[in-house]
Amino acid sequence: MQAEKLPERQEDCGCGDPSLKRFRQTIATLERTWAAEARNAPFYPFVTWTAEGPRLGAATVLARKGAPEEARLLALLSVAYGFPVPAKVLKHLAWAEAEFDRGDFAKSAMHVALTGISAFAGREGARRLHIAAGILDEGFLTPTAVLKACGLDGGEVETLANITKTSRAFLRATRTEASGRPTVSLPRRTAPLAGKMGATTTWL
C-alpha cells in the first residue's frame, strides 16, 4: 500500500472537523519522522525484546513494558506483515518476554522464532508499522479500527481488547470494594475518526 500525499489545507478535504485536521497533521508528521527513523534507528527484522518492550522494524515499540496491550501488539504485527497474525503467537511471545526478563536472550529469540513469523523482506512493512503505532499512540483509532481501515480481519484483536476491558473493570471494582470508596478513572480517548477514516488506507 503506497501512501498518497495528504492535502495540506483543511478545506481541500471539504471537512471542517478539527479532529480530522489534526489526524492529517499527525500522519504528515509520522511520514517525516519515518524518514529519520529509517535512516538512523536500528532495524529489527524480528520481534526483539528490549527494556521498553518488544520492538520491530525501525525500533517501533509494539507494546509498552508491563502494559496489557496484547490487542495493540497483535494489531501492529498484522499491519506490519499485511495479514491477520493469529492470536496463538502471543503464547510464544509471552515466553519470549519471560526469558528476556530472566536474562536469557537466546531463549527469548528462540520463542520468537517459534511463532513462525518471518523476517521483514523490506522496509515498507516497517513504514506501515511506524505509522500505525503513531496512530494508536495518539488515540485516533483502536487496534480493531486500524485493522478494519487496512482491510484486515480484526476479530481476534477485538476479542483480546474486550477481554482486557473486562479485566480492567474487574480490577477497578475490586479496588473500590477493598478501599471502601470509589476510584477515579481518567477518561481515555476513544476513536472519534473511526467512522470517517475507516475506509481510507492512504495513510498506510
Helix (H, G, I), strand (E, B), or coil: what is residue 50? strand
Q: Decide if 7 contacts 202 (C-beta within 8 A).
A: no
* pLDDT score recorded for residue 48: 95
Report pLDDT digits (tens) over 88-98. Answer: 999 999 999 99
Report pLDDT digits (tens) over 55-82. Answer: 999 999 999 887 788 999 999 999 999 9
Where residue 198 falls among pLDDT bands split at 50, 70, 90?
very low
Where residue 184 falls among pLDDT bands split at 50, 70, 90?
very low
Locate the domains of the chain by residue range. Answer: 39-179+191-197
Separate counts of helices (H) and strands (E) for the chain: 8, 3
* pLDDT score recorded for residue 166: 61
Strands (E) in 58-196, as ranges, are 60-61
Amino acid at the residue 100: F
Q: Does the pLDDT of residue 8 top 60, yes or no?
A: no
Where residue 122 falls among pLDDT bands split at 50, 70, 90?
confident
* pLDDT score recorded for residue 9: 36
Helix (H, G, I), strand (E, B), or coil: what is residue 169? helix
186 or 198, greater pLDDT: 198
- Eight-state DSSP code of residue 16: -
Instruction: Using the structure block, give the residue that is written with the C-alpha cell 506483515.
Output: 81
16 or 113, greater pLDDT: 113
